[in-house]
Amino acid sequence: LTRVDIRRMYKIGVITRAEVYESYLQHGYTDENAKRMTEFTVQWAAPKEASITRSDMQYL
């Protein structure tokens, strides 16, 4: 898997956090950097907060 594939597959739930970490190790990252990349992937894949304006709220 490429790094982009890892992020995308994690985001849609195809692979777990542990599998993300293992994938980064397979790419040759050190333990510490694989942990950092895993945390980055988890943060990147987290749902973004929707921005709702006041004018949007009048239609709710």
Which of 41, 25, 45, 23 is CA-nearest to residue 33?
A: 25
Residue 11 is given by DSSP the state H
The amino acid sitting at 11 is K
Tens-digit pLDDT profile for residues 29-45: 999 999 999 999 999 99
Residue 46 is given by DSSP the state S
What residue segments make up the domains of the chain, in order of their start? 3-57
Tens-digit pLDDT profile for residues 2-30: 999 999 999 999 999 999 999 999 999 99
